[in-house]
Structure 1
Amino acid sequence: MASIEMKNIVKKYGDGYPAVNDVSMDIADGEFMILVGPSGCGKSTLLRMIVGLEDITSGDMVIGGTRVNEKAPRDRNLSMVFQNYALYPHLSVFENIAFPLRLAKTPEEEVQKKVNDAAAVLELNEHLQRKPANLSGGQRQRVAMGRAIVRDADAFLFDEPLSNLDAKLRGQMRTEIARLQRRLGITTVYVTHDQTEAMTLGDRVCVLRKGVIQQVASPRELYEQPVNLFVAGFIGSPPMNFLPATVSESALDTPFGKIELDADRAAKVAGKDLVLVGIRPEYFEDASLVDEAKKPLGSTFTARVDVTEWLGDSQFAYIPYEAPAEVEAKLKELSRELDSDQLRTQAIVSIDSTSRIREGREAEFWLDARKIHVFDPESGENLTRDPEAGAELTRIAAEDRAEQVANAREAAQA
């Protein structure tokens, strides 16, 4: 097992464009780190530099305390699982898993034990004599994972391993990967563009934008304390709503009415004129279903519902609103960058499935004003972020991870 340190890592191609730009990050021994971001953000390039498949233009890559910039991939003792499985079609499942052991000239008795142990963990015992062509997509991905497990590597590297699977199978494999990593307690770096995978798998998540780190934090900190518009818009499904607002003393005037601010938030936005208010869909409720004692903690407004989507356990209501041209342009630009078509001049509201709100009609909504974020529309900075609260969330996650790693290694030694 090993830690991974990246110090001012830069990757430039022939045209001089920095695919990865001055990335510095420490991944602790046994940590599950997620690299996430839209297409072209540099996450796969960074992973390939860790394993040695891409040269590093400048900076230091340190694995287990040793600088590895000039080391070949085979000398870094890392196991990588690729998006396309990379299995040998003419070999059986057993021989595909055993392949790295054969290359290392491992004694046959040890090969048999390691392959069978890995197959038991991944529930592949019944398929060891099959060829990859006779397996399902999920089984092929488990074979690729088995090949990584048997190597006794210092770290696992996953490059979008679930993107070729259907939605149901992705959910199952996501759970299997999480259980496997917790059981082995091995350092893991996992690349994905799917923020659901990022939020459910990682101890910490690194959000990248055009090769630059935006925020590295626990999934909960990213969700509750995003550092800027980009992170706030990328993390969450449906994404955070961004409403234009003007600052008026201790209140924000939005298309849905006035939102009162507490003294701390009012001080943070003082001096601003036009801002963007960030509101998660679940921060809204059908006003008719809100307890009377809770109502004074938020704001109530009336709006016309354009479309509703009933999902069984909840439902979404879409509420269009008017926005200044510069705000609309900003949201369109952010939407393109995030590969999303939902960041438009409409609010997505998540309400209880029992609500009788109907599309095409006006309805009364309640907004929890305690949870809103306020962003600078020019810089994208979250003006009301609480760094201390965010750091506490990540600290708790780190303690949980350290305890899980210690328990996994203790169990392995026993």
Structure 2
Amino acid sequence: MASITMNNLVKKYDDGFPAVNDVSIDVADGEFLILVGPSGCGKSTLLRMVVGLEDITSGDLLIDGERVNEKEPRQRNLSMVFQNYALYPFLTVYENIAFPLRLAKGKFSEKEIDEKVRHASELLDLDDHLERKPGNLSGGQRQRVAMGRAIVRDAEAFLFDEPLSNLDAKLRGQMRTEIAQLQRRLGITSLYVTHDQTEAMTLGDRVAVLKKGRLQQIASPRELYEQPVNLFVAGFIGAPSMNFLPARRDGDIFHTPIGDIPVPEHAKGKLDQAGELLVLGIRPEHFADAKDVQDTPWAARGTTFEAELTHTEWLGNQQYGYVRYEQDQDVKAKLDELAKDLDADEMPAQVVVELDAASRIRGGSTTSLWVNTQKMHVFDPESGTNLTRDEEAGAELTREANEERKAEIKRLHDQNL
């Protein structure tokens, strides 16, 4: 195992375009770090720079404290798991897993090769498939074979480049679980690239969010969700996405298209330098049918407003309602720019609210909704900065996640002794 340190990494192509622009990340020994972002954000380029498949224009890359900028990929002792599996179709599963060992030209005896292959096969539940060819395997089984080949190399770290994107939704969920459990059992440093935020949120100890080659925020999944640093991170993390409402502040009141909202306590004192025009960020789950909250202890944490739902979506265990509003033209350009950064055409002028599955509210009806203003974020529409971010609370969430990771790795290590 090893730590990976990226110091001010830059990758510029011949036309001068910076695909990766001044990225600095420390990946701890045994950590599972996710690189996530929309298409073209530089995440795969950064991974290829680490493994040695892309030259580094400037900056330093260190593996276990040793600078490796000029080292060939084979000298870095990193194992890459590709999106397309990169298996040899004419070799059996056994020989595919054994291939990197045989490539070492006499470094391992046949007995050592067999022991390593069978150990990896047992870890990945491939014992019944060792004599089969890749063409006769399912997508999930092929991915496990690719991982087996990485395991036998005793590499310093695993690097995954969108390994699950070729699988259907059910298999992706299954493989996510297997990869997470395997990484914990092995305790091996792992870098994982994905554009799928579900993978990022469920797999990573920490997640690095990239936009146009620049690092936006690196933190635990929970810190990213609860304390995003800017509009981009807030909009990228979460499904359905955070709602963004234009608001004009008048003293202790926000005037919004869905009604007046009192400025919450956690925002007071943080908006003194802000302009009159702001953007409020509210996640769908922080809304509710007002009837469900009345006479409850948490009713005082928010406020109610009247709204007409255009339609609802019932998903069995939950329900979503949609409220259209008239967009403020002064922030429309900024929100449309944000939408393009998030790989969308435009930011719809609507609020998505999560309702109880048993709610009888239906599209076309006007109803009273409640919003938890204590969970509301306030953003500067020009810079995109989250003006109400609690840095200490966010850092504490990441510290807790780090301690949980160390404890889980130790527990699994002790079980395997």
CA shift digits 1:302-356 (9 cap, x unpaired)? 1110111100000111110112223222222211221236831101111110101
The match for 2:386 is: 382
Q: Do 2:335 and 2:346's aligned partners in 1 also have CA atoms closer than 8 Å? A: no
Distance 1:214 1:227 in 2: 8
Distance 2:318 2:63 in 1: 46
Evaluate the alpha carbon distance shift between residue 120 and residue 11 of structure 1 in structure 2; reply closer, same or farther with a 3 A threshold: same
Letter paired with 1:198: A
Q: Is 2:305 the counterpart of 1:319?
A: no
Q: What are the ranges of 5 or more consecutive residues in structure 1 without an aligned counterpart?
A: none
Q: How does 1:166-205 map to 2 (within 5 A)?
A: 166-205=168-207
Q: Do 1:247 and 1:269's aligned partners in 2 also have CA atoms closer than 8 Å? A: no
Q: How does 1:126-275 map to 2 (within 5 A)?
A: 126-270=128-272, 271-275=274-278
Letter paired with 2:237: I
Output the TM-score relative to the length of structure 2: 0.97
Matching residue within 285, 288, 291 for 1:282: 285
The match for 2:357 is: 353
Q: Do 1:252 and 1:259's aligned partners in 2 also have CA atoms closer than 8 Å? A: yes
Q: Do 2:266 and 2:374's aligned partners in 1 also have CA atoms closer than 8 Å? A: no
Letter paired with 1:44: S
Letter paired with 1:137: G
Q: Say which is worse superposed, 356-365 or 33-42, in terms of deviation.
A: 356-365
| Per-residue deviation, 1:257 | 1.5
The match for 1:61 is: 61
Q: Say what the alpha-carbon RMSD is for the aligned residues.
A: 1.2
Distance 2:365 2:265 in 1: 36
Distance 1:337 1:267 in 2: 31
Distance 1:410 1:365 in 2: 51
CA shift digits 1:82-132 (9 cap, x unpaired)? 000000010000000111111123111111111111111111111100100
Matching residue within 295, 303, 327 for 2:307: 303
Q: Is 2:332 the counterpart of 1:328?
A: yes
| Per-residue deviation, 1:364 | 1.0
Q: Say which is worse superposed, 155-164 or 343-352, in terms of deviation.
A: 343-352
| Per-residue deviation, 1:410 | 4.1
Count of equivalent residues = 413
Distance 1:183 1:341 in 2: 42
The match for 2:96 is: 96
The DSSP-based 3-state class of the residue aligned with 1:380 is coil
The DSSP-based 3-state class of the residue aligned with 1:267 is coil
CA shift digits 1:107-161 (9 cap, x unpaired)? 1111111111111111111110010000011110110011011111100000000
In percent, how many aligned pairs have the same letter? 65
Q: What are the ranges of 5 or more consecutive residues in structure 2 without an aligned counterpart?
A: none
The DSSP-based 3-state class of the residue aligned with 2:343 is coil
The match for 1:83 is: 83
Output the TM-score relative to the length of structure 1: 0.98
| Per-residue deviation, 1:255 | 1.3
Q: Do 2:309 and 2:366's aligned partners in 1 also have CA atoms closer than 8 Å? A: yes
Moved beyond 4 Å, runs of 4+ = none
Distance 1:123 1:216 in 2: 34
| Per-residue deviation, 1:269 | 1.6
Matching residue within 276, 292, 297 for 2:295: 292
Letter paired with 2:9: I
The DSSP-based 3-state class of the residue aligned with 2:60 is strand
The DSSP-based 3-state class of the residue aligned with 2:232 is helix
Distance 2:344 2:150 in 1: 34
Distance 2:204 2:254 in 1: 35
| Per-residue deviation, 1:291 | 3.8
Letter paired with 1:307: H
Distance 1:225 1:383 in 2: 11
